[in-house]
Structure formats: structure tokens, C-alpha cells
Amino acid sequence: MKDLRSISIADRYRSDADDVAEDFYDPCLEMAVRYDRAVGYFTSGSLAVAARGVEALEQSGGRIRLVASPHLTTEDVESIKKGYEYREIVSRAIVRELEEASGLPQSDLARVGRLGRLIANSQLDIKIALMRSSRGIGIYHEKIGTITDGHGNLVAFTGSLNETAAAFLDNFESIQVFSSWKPEDSKRAAGIQRDFDALWSGETSRLEVIDFPEAARRKLIELGRATGGENTGSPTSNSATGWLTLPTDIELRDYQKQAIEAWLSAEGRGIFQMATGTGKTITGLAAGDQLGRQLRAAGSPLVTVIVVPLLGLADQWTAQLRSFGVTPIQCRDAWQSWEPDVVDAIAALGSFSNARHVAIVVTNSTFATDRFQRILEGIEWPILFMADEVHNLGSLKMQGCLPGHSTFRLGLSATPVRHLDTEGTGALLDFFGHILIELGIKEAIEMEALTPYRYFPILVPLNSEESEFYADLTKEIGKLFARASSGADVEDRLGQLQQKRANVLGHAEGKIAALRTELAQRQDDAYQLIYCAAGGRPSRDGGTSGVRQIDDAMVVSGSELGIPTHPYTAAESPAIRRDILRDFSTGRDIRVLASMRCLDEGVDLPDARIAYMLASSSNPRQFIQRRGRVLRRAEGKKRAEIIDFVAVPPGDADLYEIERKLFRRELERCVEFARYAENQGFALAQLRELRECYDLMDL
């Protein structure tokens, strides 16, 4: 991985002796995965210069956050003074600047187009900063920036340099630079990053930070499309009409080659069941590369539609597609942001003399909309329909959206079998075809595609109140078992009681004390995940006590033990979640993530290496996904650890048979985790007494 430390960085740059762009910006951005910049003015000329050096950042899937002040004319300022809506005036000013970009030289216009593509690919976010006072609108004139590499190294800078053509090329400017790995610079570098983060989140006093106007966003994306038209469409070009091409720096493993061969032999239909972290995405795109070669030779175009369940996965697929030479159209959020692009791209396929390819990445929610379905139904060209986490498409609603006219179909998942839904699983197999490869955790670890791990089951007895509640629920469940076939109402009630009973185990109070003990032993370690039970602790009145396990875990980890900890839940916006994951990847800013469900799938955390399983899950897909989060390979990562907190039922002799039947699923998870662990013998020994007690040695 590229490293900022590998290049020579001075502590200051000044126009009399340096070319600031060539000497500082370009080499640093070559190494970057994140670029944060706060500048004075937002002008068309500044955009062209700001885009210098970001090509490598674009190719690597890195992210840019830019804060700027609008370039207001005297007329704009007067209009604001007269009481006109300042947000509308700011929006018009920014769009005006972008319209002026059409007069830039072709090379500069291409750079502006690159920024448009970065926005379309969710790699660039822009916000506008204003000073508001009783005297009107003031100019935000601060100039700071940070550049971060994949190792968490940070270069921060501040000074008189604006992101304007004049500043770079004509004016006499200077900047001061601080490198985080230098003891004398580390505090200043961290301070500048904190200042930017506060600015970005709108927490800087006297400043108002607003979102980039939608009209301006669309204009930039249009410029990106227009300049992208210069691509030749050759296999190595990066465009929406290019063909997938396996990057030269990726060497497929034997199992990936075998999977692709099997899919092609099955006439382009089937499912890849591959353990999390074994390269499902690359295998799927490499299959698309091989298919594309055949279609291109036959003179046939292709539309590739990739369906993903989460926004984060859409971004990951987009970044990976770009490494394969294709910039996909992302279909997410409001239809206005994607429908015109999709319609135009598909319509244009027939106008080319040579075969072309269009790639689309769509989230499940957008895929199911009437607008997207109408477009999909109208495609007359061959379609490669690829579904990531394909099990999500087995519900009745999603089954009805599957394109029956798609010629080629590929499903990807570590767990394509839907939990307790044989009909949904059958529908997926009928549509996509047979499972062509089953790469399990054992094989993946043996071939070094995944990291070895150790498993530590921690048995936690229920307290007296929980034991009584658990026993009462078990009695009610036992009574209903005999009548389970007597009607839907009984089955629904039985399901509710079973879920509540599982929640008693998942929220067992003793797990927090046990977590404190385990965390204290790893207090200095980074890259730790805590999987918490969803919701609050169940109560006898049918609701919850209001006490959330994630809150208790945060107190233990963050407040009591002083480990930098942050929640990762549905309450955080996608932008905030990206920032959280960025800080977690440093191994310093955030060392523990506490989550409810949100880390189950669609989040790439290769550095994560310790997982605390507070939540009890008998859903194989869920616990396999959670285990997979910490098994991905990463530099310097030799093994992972899974600490599983298993709540032990009270062991009422009168309820033995029903309890044994219900607790079996909990122990199935434990035995599954232990089976492939490096310390298998130790882990199974910890579970032996419990398995013997419930006569579950057959697991």
C-alpha cells in the first residue's frame, strides 16, 4: 500500500523556490486515500487546478471532502442585503461558475469533468461555508487541508494558498506543512484535522456550512459525462461504455478461475457461494470480463446490472468496477440523479458501430421501484444480471422484480440459503441456477484467502430475574408447541415468544461484566468490533426496559476503560459512517466500533481483528457474516480473535426437553465457530459440559 512516508515532504513550500502543485500536491495525492480541503473561493478556474493530482486518488477509490466559499458578485451581495433568500443566491452563483467552465481550455475542462465523475461515484463531497452576521454574508477565507494514506499517515497544511488558478500559477503563495509521523508536527497535524472535521460537521462557531446545491451537483456530473465522451471505449479506457478488463495487478486464485469456468459452461448462469473475504466481487467481475470478450468478438453489446443491498456496497462495487476500467452509473437516492444517465446510455448503445457495454450499480430499494423496473424491462440488448448478497432477493417482493429476460445471471453470497425460507431459496435457485462453487471457511483459511482465528466462548449464567423470566417464556412456548398447527394466530404468538426468549439470552446482564473483563485484557489493541443485541432489554410487560446493550458497552469501553470507541448504527448518516470507518482504519482515532446489525454485511473492514459477540444469533447468515468481518486479510494481520458471550439457561429439569430443542440452535453457532478455529480443542472443551448437559454432543 502506498505510503506518504516514502516521499520527501518539506515543512514549507514558497513560490520563489517551489512549484507547489508539482512538488507537493501531485506526489502526496498519489499516495492518498483521503483528501480534505477547506479553501477560500469556489470558481471554475479553481476547479480545474484543484483536480490536478487526483487521478490516482480516483483510481484507488479514495475520497475527497471540499469546503469552499461561494464567489459572490456585487449584485449577489446587494440582493442578500435586500432580504432575498441567500441560499438561492449562493446556488445560482455556484452554477454560474460551473457554466463558465465551458470556456476553459480542453485540458482544464477534462479536469473539471473528473470532479464531476468523482461526485457521481460518491468519491467527492462538497460543502459551502458562509459567515453570517447582522451585517450580512461574509467570506470564509480559511485555507487548510489534510492528505491521508491507507496506513493512517497524515500530512496537514495551512497557509495563503487558495485553490485558484492564480494562486497556483501566478500569485506568490506559501504553505506550512506538518507530518503526523514527525514528533514535532504530530499535534499540529492532528489539530488541523480536528478543525476540518468540526467545519465539515457544522460545529465551527460563526460559520454556517450548507450542502452543495443539487443544481450545481447535476451540472458537475453533466460536465463529467461530457468530458467522459472522449474515451475511446477500448478495453483499458475508464468509461460507462468500456468493457470490463481484469487489472494486470490482480492474479486470480485457482478457485476463482474454476468458478468462472463453471459459470461459462453453465451458459452464464449460477451462484457463487464463497466465504466472506474470499474475493466474490473480483470473481464476479472477472466472469464479466470473460463474457464480454465473447460478446465483443461476436459484435454484441451488453448491459451489466449489479444489484446490491446497501449504499456502502454500491460505493465498493463502483470503486472495484473502476479498477476494471469501467465507470458505472449508480442508481440510488432520487430518480432525477440517475434516470437520465441510464436512459441516455442504453439508448446510445445502438448508435455505435462497434459493440459497447454499459454498467449499472443499483441498490435493492431503487431496483424495486417502478421507474427502474420500467427501464429494465425496456432493455433489448443482452443483460448480465449480477446480485451481491443474493439471498436478499429471495423475498416475495424481490422475486417479482427479477428480470426474466436477462440472458446471463450470477448470484454472489457467502450464505445463499435463506434462513427458515425454503421457498425463497428455491426461487433463487430457479432463477439464477445451481450453486457452482462452495468455498467454505475451512478451505479459505487453508489456502490463505482468509486469516486464521481463535475462538473463545465465554459462558454467562442468567441472573435470578432473567432465569425466572426465561423459564416462564419457555413454559408458554411448550404449551403452544402442541397447538402450533392449529392456526396462523398460534404460530404468530409462538414466534413472538421465541423471539422474546432469544432476546432474554441476547441481553443477559452478565454479558456486560464479562465484556469488561475481556476488553481490559485487550485495552491497548486496535481494530476491535462489538456486536450488540438489537433494541433494548426485554421486559415482562411486552416492551423493553429502555436499557440498550450498546449503550452499556460504550460506557464500559469508552468511559471506564478509556478506549477510543464509537457507535456504528442506523442512527448515523452514510456520510458519518464513512468518516467513522476512515477513523477506525487508522487504528488510532477509533479503536473500537460498537454496532447493532450495521456491520453484518456490506462493510469492508480488513483491519478488524477482534470481535466480541454479545448478540445471540441462530441465523447462520448473520453469524457467518459477523465472523467474516474479522477474517479478511490485511497487512500485518496474523490472526483474528472471536470472543463469544453465551448466555446459559437456568436448566429447569421440568423444561428440559423443550429447552434442549430451543437451545440447540445457540450451541450450533458455538460449535460452528469452534470447528475451524486454531484453538478448536480448547474451544470445544469449554462447551463440553453444556453440550453434555443438553445431550447435544451430536453437533
Q: Where are the domains of the chain?
A: 4-228, 254-446, 453-693
Chain segment 619-675, per-residue pLDDT in tens: 666 777 788 888 988 888 999 999 999 998 887 777 787 778 777 878 888 998 999
Rg of the chain (C-alpha set): 28
Provide CATH code, domain 453-693.
3.40.50.300
Chain segment 427-439, per-residue pLDDT in tens: 999 999 999 999 9
Task: Tell me the sheet residues that pair with 12.
Answer: 176
Cell numbers for 534: 438489537
How many Å apart are CA 154 and CA 4, to the nearest integer?
8
* Architecture of the 4-228 domain: 2-Layer Sandwich (3.30)
Find the DSSP H helices in 378-522: 396-399, 422-432, 441-446, 464-481, 488-506, 510-521
| CATH number of this structure's domain 254-446, picked from the four choices 3.30.70.20, 3.40.50.300, 3.75.10.10, 3.40.50.1000 | 3.40.50.300
Q: Find the mean pLDDT for residues 591-613.
A: 83
Q: Which is nearest to 628 in space by CA: 449, 497, 496?
A: 449
pTM listed for this prediction: 0.61
Residue 682: other Cβ atoms inside 10 A: 14
How many Å apart are CA 431 and CA 416, to the nearest integer?
13
Q: Name the band, by pLDDT with cuts 50, 70 and 90, for residue 354.
A: low
Chain segment 60-100, per-residue pLDDT in tens: 677 888 888 777 766 776 776 666 667 778 778 887 777 76
Res 106: pLDDT? 63
Percentage of residues of the chain with pLDDT beyond 90: 37
Res 583: pLDDT? 87
Give the range with max mean pLDDT: 170-174, 258-262, 574-578: 258-262
Q: Name the band, by pLDDT with cuts 50, 70 and 90, for residue 363.
A: very high
Q: Find the mean pLDDT for residues 448-472.
A: 92
Give the range with max mean pLDDT: 10-24, 411-425, 564-578: 411-425
Res 353: pLDDT? 53
Q: Name the band, by pLDDT with cuts 50, 70 and 90, for residue 125.
A: confident
Res 478: pLDDT? 80
How many Å apart are CA 46 and CA 56, to the nearest integer?
19
Chain segment 149-208, per-residue pLDDT in tens: 877 889 999 875 444 333 333 344 678 999 999 999 999 999 999 999 888 888 888 888
Res 164: pLDDT? 38
Phi, psi of 288, deg, nearest 5: -65, -35
Q: Find the mean pLDDT for residues 496-515.
A: 90
Find the DSSP H helices in 349-487: 364-367, 370-377, 396-399, 422-432, 441-446, 464-481
Chain segment 276-303, per-residue pLDDT in tens: 778 899 999 999 999 999 998 888 999 9
Question: Mean of the per-residue pLDDT values for the chain?
Answer: 83
Res 233: pLDDT? 32
Task: Name the more confident of 580 and 98.
Answer: 580
* 254-446 and 453-693, same CATH topology: yes
How many Å apart are CA 209 and CA 96, to the nearest integer?
20
How many Å apart are CA 638 and CA 81, to the nearest integer?
63
Q: Find the mean pLDDT for residues 447-465.
A: 93
Q: Which is nearest to 124 in space by CA: 27, 219, 220, 233?
A: 220
Q: Which is nearest to 263 in space by CA: 386, 356, 423?
A: 386
How many Å apart are CA 223 and CA 117, to the nearest integer?
8
Res 229: pLDDT? 35
Q: Which is nearest to 404 in space by CA: 368, 376, 381?
A: 376
Lookup result for grid cell 462452495: 438
CB 123 within 8 A of CB 316: no
